[in-house]
Amino acid sequence: MISPSLGKKIESAALDIALVEQRVAQALAEDAHGGDLTSKATMSDTQVSKAAFNTRKSGTIAGTIIAVAVLEECGLTNYEIKVPDGSSVEAGTTLITVEGNTQAILLAERTALNFLSHLSGIATLTSAWVKEVSGTQTEVRDTRKTTPGLRELEKYAVRMGGGTNHRMTLTDGALIKDNHIAAAGSVTEAITRVKQEFPGVEIEVEVDNLEQLKEALHAGVDIVLLDNMSIEETKAAVELARNSATKLESSGGLKLENARAYASTGVHYLAVGALTHSAPVLDIGLDF
């Protein structure tokens, strides 16, 4: 069970305590069905050690509160978070220190590092995108291209990197994509049906060309997602929507190298699936 003090940190991070407990328990269960055979053979069950989670590379940190949840699940309560989530650090920075039963520390090690390295990798990549578009009005947003079971944690890591979350679930708004349009018959018909079925819900519609954009603007939606449009097409789209309350989001074909060029067109959002599906882990290790 997560301690009350850690529970407050998790809640203040807008995460669900029960979900964190569940994910941590599942991760530990797949790693140690019957305990750590190597540790049992090489050390006594009363040995005590001190250890630290240290960065091997610079980056932006996310997941310290998840890592210490792993420590607590393994019976380790004498720990200290040295660097809060959202911090930018250099290589060689100590993130967490822990003192306790040596076997317990080694039992927790890999699971804690898996969470911490993965989430910090997402935060680090997100931070790079956010820095690339700094000074523009454009926000960097994630997508639903997340690891099954880890969406809430991965989207938390995006926030720690300075990014913005898109929908957490399919009930957080309507996003009309190409298959919805094909099923409904047209952009206008798809928008009309959503408005009739769920009046007041935020509606975003994906368009492939400027004619579809005109149709979406005429029908009236909150956001239009410009799918795989070139920078020149995106500029034209921004001009078409200039006198509209509709916001524009670019998606598809985006790279860190062209992020600023797209942001400079005046779009409100860049939708970047790579933040969660392609972020390399941040190299972090545990040292006694």
Which of 110, 193, 247, 260 is the catalytic position? 110
Which of 177, 235, 247, 260 is the catalytic position? 177
Which of 85, 206, 215, 249 is the catalytic position? 206
Active site residue 177: yes
Active site residue 178: no
Active site residue 16: no
Active site residue 287: no
The closest of 145, 151, 113, 146 to 27, measured between CA atoms, is 113
Cα-Cα-Cα-Cα torsion 148, 176, 139, 281, nearest 10 degrees, comes to: 20
Active site residue 206: yes
Q: What's the order of all strands across the beta sheet hosting 203-207?
A: 139-141, 269-271, 247-251, 223-227, 203-207, 174-176
Which of 145, 167, 193, 235 is the catalytic position? 145
Which of 73, 154, 215, 227 is the catalytic position? 227
Which residues are designated catalytic?
110, 145, 177, 206, 227
